[in-house]
Structure formats: C-alpha cells, structure tokens
Homo-oligomer: A and B are copies of this chain.
C-alpha cells in the first residue's frame, strides 16, 4: 500500500450514520410515525431508484430528486398524502445534515495529513458539501456520482475519480462499509479498505461481516485505518 496517494470514501453508512440522522428529522417533522422504520423504508427505495437511472430508464436524476420521488411514494403508501410541500422539502434535506460516526472526523483528520481525502458518494455535490459543513468532514474535495452522470457501482465513477485526481487507479484506495462497492472499485483497479459498521441498519438487523477477505485491509474504524496506513 506504499504507493497509495489518495483515499476516496463511500459516505452513507461508511462515514455518516444515515439511519439515526433521518429518523431524528422524521420524528420532528412527522410526529406519530415510527421514525426508524420510516428511515429504513425510505433507504430501501434508494437502490431500486438508482437502478432505474443506471439501466437508462430515467435520465440523470440527482440523489436529492430520487429522495424526493421515493418520499412522495412512501408517504402515499403510508396513507399520509397531506404532508405539506415544506415538510417534504425539509425531509429531503435531512440527508444533507447527517451526523458522522463518532470516529469519522478524527480518523479523516489524521488521514488528510498524509493523503488526499475525498468523498466518492452517490450523493449529489450540494448534499455532500452541506453534510461536510454540518459534520465538519475535512475533505480535500468532494467527488460525487453527479460529476460523472453515473451512479456507483458503474465503472465510470471509479474511473472518473482516479482521472480527476490525476492518479493511476492503483494509487487510489476506496474505503467503504459495503463489499459490493469495494468489489466494483477493485474491478477498475483501485485498492480497497473495508470498514465494519455494525450499526448502519440499527440494532435488530443481522450485522455485516467483520471483514472483507477480498479487500486489501479491513478495519473497525477510520482511526484504525489511519494507524494501518501510518497516518
């Protein structure tokens, strides 16, 4: 791993805790709704909505727009058609102000001293910029699927990140809590680091594996990754 120059990070679940953050705003804005179940159901529509873009059934649509469309569907299904426009707008912005996991900022700050660090998320640029300001994530720059007009795990996203950073893919380390993201990055020549985030889906779900045997390294936190990389 001595040649690594830049680290690119999945964000939702890897760097920030989307479930608690979304549930917090649901509790505030939709009283009486099971906030965690709502967050899970909303997030459950994330992959299918992106798949429609990835398959070409929809033109490029930002994650904010996909979140809004799936929110409208979910509210209709739950028999809540009267939720106001302003509440819907605020709920979509919940994804802009998710809190980092407790170890994220400390780990990123150490890594930034030695490496270029950037997001590489399906979130749109404005979402990621707002989130970084909210959570004080010290990115050197924000990289987003939006810049490439493709969602992960399309190869254009991983190729595009290396190209914009001016590096061959083997000098870029993709960091994620999801083995599928890492597998797609590896297929494009990036190095990979797996982060075990057992709390991503809450306390009841079967936790993710502790390690990814295919990754170059598996860790339980970003400070552990920094230590592993000598940062």
Residue A140 CB within 8 A of the other chain: yes
Given contacts A64-B166, A124-B166, contact A140 B129 (CB under 8 A): yes
For A128, the chain B residues whose CB sits under 8 A away are 141
Residue A126 CB within 8 A of the other chain: yes
Residue in B116, B124, B132 whose beta carbon sits within 8 Å of that of A129 in the complex? B116
Q: Find out whether the CB atom of A126 lies under 8 angstroms from the CB atom of B164.
A: yes
Residue in B127, B129, B132, B166 whose beta carbon sits within 8 Å of that of A126 in the complex? B166
Q: State the 9 A-B residue pairs at the shortest beta-carbon distance, nearest first.
A: A126-B166, A141-B142, A125-B164, A129-B140, A129-B141, A141-B141, A126-B165, A116-B129, A147-B147
Which residues of A pack against B, CB within 8 Å? 64, 116, 118, 124-129, 132-133, 139-142, 146-147, 164-167
Given contacts A147-B147, A166-B64, contact A132 B140 (CB under 8 A): yes
Once the chains are docked, how many angstroms separate the CA of A167 from the CA of B129?
Answer: 12
For A118, the chain B residues whose CB sits under 8 A away are 129
For A146, the chain B residues whose CB sits under 8 A away are 164
Once the chains are docked, how many angstroms separate the CA of A51 from the CA of B198?
Answer: 53
Q: Find out whether the CB atom of B147 lies under 8 angstroms from the CB atom of A140.
A: no
Once the chains are docked, how many angstroms separate the CA of A132 from the CA of B140?
Answer: 8
For A116, the chain B residues whose CB sits under 8 A away are 129, 133
Q: Closest B residue to A137 by CB, please name it.
A: B140
Once the chains are docked, how many angstroms separate the CA of A147 from the CA of B147?
Answer: 7
Given contacts A64-B166, A147-B147, A164-B146, contact A133 B126 (CB under 8 A): no
For A127, the chain B residues whose CB sits under 8 A away are 166
Q: Find out whether the CB atom of B140 lies under 8 angstroms from the CB atom of A133.
A: yes
